[in-house]
Structure 1
Amino acid sequence: MRKETLSLGKSRGLSQCADQDGIFNILALDHRQAIKKVFVESAEPYTEAVAFKRATVKALAPVSTAFLLDPSIGAGPSVADSSLPGACGLIVTVEVSGFAGPKHARISRLSDDWGVDQIKRLGASAVKLLVYYHPKSETASQMKELVAQVHDECARLDIPLFLEILTYSPNPDDSQLDPEQRTDAVVQAASDLTSIGGDVLKVEFPVDVNAQADPATWDEACRSISQASEIPWVLLSAGVDFPVFAQQVESACMAGASGVLAGRAVWKEALGVSPDDRDIFLNTIARERMRELHSICRQYGRPYTEFFRYEQLLEDWYMGYR
């Protein structure tokens, strides 16, 4: 683990995304295609999708330290009408939704019309980059270059980078990795890419819980991520049911994770129901889920602040600030 000095802008951005003790309890709501599909037959699909995200942000802002939002139906609309309160951090997606290339050689892409500069101008606390990666994929070196590129852009503008990694099978004949391959891929990906860039790692649970139910296996795999990653890490939910995710979070935090970036496990039941039922669910069950996650993370998680040194400023520090 590298312990670098955290610049002022990155320090400010990360603190906006965490609680006062350095724990992340972030809601992930940057999903685009999955949410648009729900409203595809609506008279106004975009308006309905925006309404869903605004309602979710409003309901869960009191129990979330930050939100991860896409620019189109999430960040822009939620900032425009103040659905997202100033007390919550804002992380905005930089990559294009989905991937290019075949399933065994995936390529994450950036947009010509959206980037780190625009995210900074929006007033966001941080940038998120999703990278599809496998160490043995023919696109691995290309994805490393992408991480380095976005990391450098974030450093230039002094804004933190949340680096998300999703692994996959590089074998065109296999649709998914077997349990041992999955763990190895997640851990190696964390090692490969955090040595290049990023300030916080957003990572999938390293164990196939359907095939490996032993908690000791979970704990060992999560400890391996902590050993491999050179930056603090948070756990994503990958759409699993909430009780399973809560168990995963406890295992991850006990092994050194600094919190969660939780998505569908918290709010997926609010999709496809009436606005009234949606709001009831979000303000009761979903809100309680975020409270429970925060409690677990606060009890067991490692504050992200332990991973960094902080600038020691002299009286005239600002005179050379660039």
Structure 2
Amino acid sequence: MSVTMSPGRYRGLRNVSLPAADTFGIVAFDQRGSYRKMMGAQASYAQLCQVKSEIISALSQSASAVLTDPIYGMDAAMRMSPRAGLLLALEKSGYSGDSSYRKTELIPSWTAQTICQVGADAVKFMVYYHPESGVLAEELEALIKQVVARCHACDLPVFLEPMSYSLDAAVPKASAEFAAARPAIVIETARRLSRIGADVLKLEAPHDIAHNQDEAAWQASCEQVSAASAVPWVLLSAGVDFAQFERQLRVACAAGASGFLAGRAIWKEAATMSSAARANFMAEVAARRLDALLEIAARDARPWSDFYTLPQFDATWYEAYALC
């Protein structure tokens, strides 16, 4: 059953989606800590901003929207194509606590109201989440509700990104043991977190492609994610290479995903190139990659408008409507 959405959130989703399809073809470049490591200690703040701006400017010509961050991405957000929508990350990069007990923190002085004021169409909020983490899971769910309420008070839609991790430090996420448990974790995460206010889920592929190449198994698990989620979901690339992500996206969209929110699978080689080589790579390689993904999202993904309906207005609707 579809839900009537407030006008700002409805327009926000429209602004970040492919207009003919109501599906998402979003490029992500909101990395901060991992981006600094990728670029090396010699890279200055200005260089980090410039590289991000060059990549985002190129991809914003075709993407339905771009996700970036307030640390290195605001110049890019101001310079990118105005035809693309804008999502901004709310959370601080990384996590506090140890690797098996990960807490999410917010960027100081960076709020939903600020994101609204700078003109973004939507908020992205990432948490490390495991449905079996007990009290920590409850704390994170409370934080998510709080963040969503603040974003919705500004009439901004929220893309919630729960990233799975291992609760056992002796069982790395990349291990076969965790890979076997991952589908159930992703499905249960979708079931729980899709019911606490976020408008869209940004999810990992249920199966780890390094341990399972069976597309029939991928399809079955993605269908279970779609059945479990009460809101639209998009697939993230999680650092896999382009050919792998293209396969994953084709399966996910056929199984009910509403598109993609992907980054490194599209642009990762370009970050460390010279400016001239980067421009050539973006035009010759990254643009073709993005076009291929956009074609899948436009053709096969489930429209987010299956979940949400246009608000109805009367002559005095605005009297009861207020922003933050």
**TM value normalised by structure 1:** 0.95
> 1:277 matched to which residue of 2?
277
Q: Secondary structure at the match of 2:261?
A: strand
2:151 pairs with 1:154: yes
RMSD: 1.3
2:117 pairs with 1:117: no
2:65 pairs with 1:66: yes
> 1:220 matched to which residue of 2?
220
The structural deviation recorded for 1:86 is 2.1
Amino acid at match of 1:56: I
> 1:7 matched to which residue of 2?
6
> 1:103 matched to which residue of 2?
99
Q: Secondary structure at the match of 2:61?
A: helix
> 1:230 matched to which residue of 2?
230
> 1:47 matched to which residue of 2?
46
The structural deviation recorded for 1:316 is 2.5
> 1:166 matched to which residue of 2?
163
Kept after mapping to 2: 8 A contact 1:104/1:137: no
Amino acid at match of 1:227: A
The C-alpha deviation readout for 1:157-178, integer Å capped at 9, x for no partner, is 1100000010011123322252
CA distance in 2, matches of 1:309, 1:61: 27
Alignment of 1:130-145 (within 5 A): 130-138=126-134, 139-145=136-142
> 2:240 matched to which residue of 1?
240
CA distance in 1, matches of 2:146, 2:317: 28
The structural deviation recorded for 1:115 is 1.4
Kept after mapping to 1: 8 A contact 2:201/2:234: yes
Kept after mapping to 1: 8 A contact 2:129/2:165: yes
> 2:295 matched to which residue of 1?
295
Amino acid at match of 1:152: A
CA distance in 2, matches of 1:231, 1:6: 12
CA distance in 2, matches of 1:172, 1:210: 20
**TM value normalised by structure 2:** 0.95
The C-alpha deviation readout for 1:169-221, integer Å capped at 9, x for no partner, is 11233222522310110111111111112101100010012222111100001
The structural deviation recorded for 1:310 is 2.1
- Structure 2: runs of 5 or more not aligned: none
2:53 pairs with 1:57: no
Kept after mapping to 1: 8 A contact 2:171/2:178: no
Kept after mapping to 2: 8 A contact 1:270/1:278: yes
CA distance in 1, matches of 2:311, 2:211: 46
Kept after mapping to 2: 8 A contact 1:89/1:125: yes
CA distance in 1, matches of 2:319, 2:191: 38
Kept after mapping to 2: 8 A contact 1:39/1:45: no
CA distance in 2, matches of 1:158, 1:148: 15
Kept after mapping to 2: 8 A contact 1:39/1:48: no
> 2:254 matched to which residue of 1?
254
Q: Secondary structure at the match of 1:73?
A: coil
CA distance in 2, matches of 1:121, 1:48: 26
Kept after mapping to 2: 8 A contact 1:96/1:108: yes
Kept after mapping to 2: 8 A contact 1:117/1:157: yes
CA distance in 1, matches of 2:214, 2:39: 39
| Count of matched residue positions in the alignment of Structure 1 and Structure 2 | 317
- Structure 1: runs of 5 or more not aligned: none
Q: Secondary structure at the match of 2:216?
A: helix
Flag the 1:35–1:213 CA change in 2: closer, same or farther, 3 A: same
CA distance in 2, matches of 1:54, 1:283: 15
Amino acid at match of 1:53: K
CA distance in 2, matches of 1:50, 1:304: 32
CA distance in 2, matches of 1:278, 1:134: 38
Identity across matched positions, percent: 37
The C-alpha deviation readout for 1:248-285, integer Å capped at 9, x for no partner, is 00000000111100110000110222111111101220
The structural deviation recorded for 1:111 is 2.4
Q: Secondary structure at the match of 1:202?
A: strand
CA distance in 2, matches of 1:172, 1:213: 26
Kept after mapping to 2: 8 A contact 1:231/1:307: yes
